[in-house]
Amino acid sequence: MNLAPPRGMRDFYPEDMRIRNRIFDAWKRAAHLYGFEEYDAPVVETEELLTRKSGEEIIQQIYNFTDKSNRRLALRPEMTPSLARMVIARQKQLTYPLKWFSIPQCFRYERMTKGRKREHFQWNLDVVGEPGLMAETEILGAAITALRLLGLSEQDFRVRIGSRALLADLFKASGLAEQHFLPVCLVLDKMGKISPDEMQAMLRDEGLTPTEIKKVIDLMSITSIDEAVAYLNQVTPAIAEVRELFAIMTTTGLAAYLEFDMAIIRGLSYYTGIVFEAFDRQQKFRAIFGGGRYDNLLNALGGETMPSVGLGFGDVVIQELLTALDKLNDEKAAAEILMGYMTPAERDYALQVATAFRNDGIPVDLALMPEKAKKLFSRANKMGTRYTIFIGPDEVHQQTISLKNMITGESQRYSLSALKAGNINLH
């Protein structure tokens, strides 16, 4: 019997789950602060939906299979196609702009390398039906807020802002044919992950001549908005948009987290405007989150055109980063109180005490069999429980409890009647 989970997939033991919940809680809290509503879709979708508009790499990595009725299904590699399907299915009834979030588990069947698993959980934030930049800035605000809630600051990460629309302007100005634009984007997204030679080979494979390849590489040497303006010799709408985005983020006090980076392009084919990726400042890890504007996806999937912006933020890289920055040390055990009893004779009294606390909304981890006080205290220390109660014959006789604070070591005695009346305040 193989005791490992399927290759590339994770078990979450309670100590892993506490970390996962800390990340999920920050995501949910940030989404609520920004007024996003939660939704969800099936982890399994039709292969057709998932492969229709995603780009080559994802199609090769899709976890597809055939069900008992010969339907072609797949474990979703990303949430955006499901979101688009759900919106199109109710496109007339929904109220726009809609601001939705979800935390789907997503699957990619790919070669296993360091930091790469075959599944991850991915916080998705999407604004659908809003052409203006407030869609991008509310999403970026929520994502930066989540990182702050996880204890990260300006010292720890930056969000790099690119623009496919600006890249398209530059592409056109350089005289490159429009048909090459999307394939070139998908190649350029690999910059830094593959060698310059490999990149040139890939561009050659896309049918670009040596002159065209040189033009593409020249474009990628543009590192600032001012250089882009100089190259284009005008302020195009795409440039005005990048500037306006920085202005809004200045108003909300978050501009210090951003920097412009022409090389941010994203590996999915459906992006059309502003795109972004967040990185740790030491650049030791893969992108923390990424996303951008995808104005044509709903139309491409058979719905009406609807301007949209989305973000995906996985749980694997952020956990690696939090670990490296030593920010995962204070995860608490589940219950406020660990409670035990000396012999079977005290069990019923212990049950009464536990019931009174629980009825009062206070979690109690009650021992299931008698034990020695010493063993109870040692378990509490191991679990990091804040309070312990040990019931012996004296407590039963006096109808009292002795509540021990495991941090200060102090004990306080209460009557059972005071407890039942709700007169014990733990904090």
Residues between 245 and 304 that touch its own copies (CB under 8 A): 248, 251-253, 301-302
DSSP 194: B
Question: Segment 377-416, which members bind its own copies (CB under 8 A)?
Answer: 379, 382
311 binds its own copies, rule: CB under 8 A: no
Sign (positive/negative) of CA torsion 173, 174, 175, 181? negative
**Least CB distance from residue 383 to its own copies, whole Å?**
9
Q: Where are the alpha helices (DSSP H) in 108-176?
A: 134-149, 164-173
Q: What angle do CA 391, 392, 395 make, to 5 degrees?
A: 75
Interaction pattern, residues 101-130, with its own copies; x per rule: CB under 8 A:
----x-x-x---------x-------x--x
Q: Which stretch binds its own copies (CB under 8 A): 184-192, 213-221, 262-270, 327-335?
A: 327-335
Number of residues in contact with its own copies under rule CB under 8 A: 94
Of these, 363, 406, 416, 420, which contacts its own copies (CB under 8 A)?
A: 363
90 binds its own copies, rule: CB under 8 A: yes
Q: What is the chain's length?
A: 427
Closest to its own copies by CB, 16 or 218: 16
In angstroms, rounded to a whole number, what is the distance separating the alpha carbons of residues 210 and 215?
9
Of these, 22, 85, 108, 120, which contacts its own copies (CB under 8 A)?
A: 85
Of these, 34, 123, 270, 271, which contacts its own copies (CB under 8 A)?
A: 34
**Least CB distance from residue 224 to its own copies, whole Å?**
25
Of these, 173, 351, 373, 406, which contacts its own copies (CB under 8 A)?
A: 351
Of these, 6, 192, 196, 409, which contacts its own copies (CB under 8 A)?
A: 6
Of these, 179, 299, 343, 355, which contacts its own copies (CB under 8 A)?
A: 355
In angstroms, rounded to a whole number, what is the distance separating the alpha carbons of residues 41 and 58?
19
Question: Segment 198-237, which members bind its own copies (CB under 8 A)?
Answer: none
Query: Distances in Å between the alpha carbon of 53 and those of 49, 201, 296, 390?
Result: 8, 25, 10, 61
In angstroms, rounded to a whole number, what is the distance separating the alpha carbons of residues 199 and 363?
57
**Least CB distance from residue 335 to its own copies, whole Å?**
4
Q: Where are the alpha helices (DSSP H) in 252-390?
A: 297-300, 315-324, 347-359, 373-383
Q: Which stretch binds its own copies (CB under 8 A): 43-51, 205-213, 317-325, 415-423?
A: 43-51
182 binds its own copies, rule: CB under 8 A: no
DSSP 262: T
19-48 per-residue burial string, b: 16 or more CB within 10 A, e: under 16: beebbeebbbebbeebebeebeeeebbbbe
422 binds its own copies, rule: CB under 8 A: no
Tell me the two tokens of residue 151.
Answer: 């204890």
Of these, 22, 54, 58, 63, which contacts its own copies (CB under 8 A)?
A: 63
Closest to its own copies by CB, 85 or 183: 85
Of these, 175, 196, 361, 409, which contacts its own copies (CB under 8 A)?
A: 361
How would you classify residue 238: left for phi > 0, otherwise alpha for psi between -120 and 50, otherwise beta?
A: alpha
| Cβ proximity of 136 and 34 under 8 Å | no
**Least CB distance from residue 233 to its own copies, whole Å?**
29
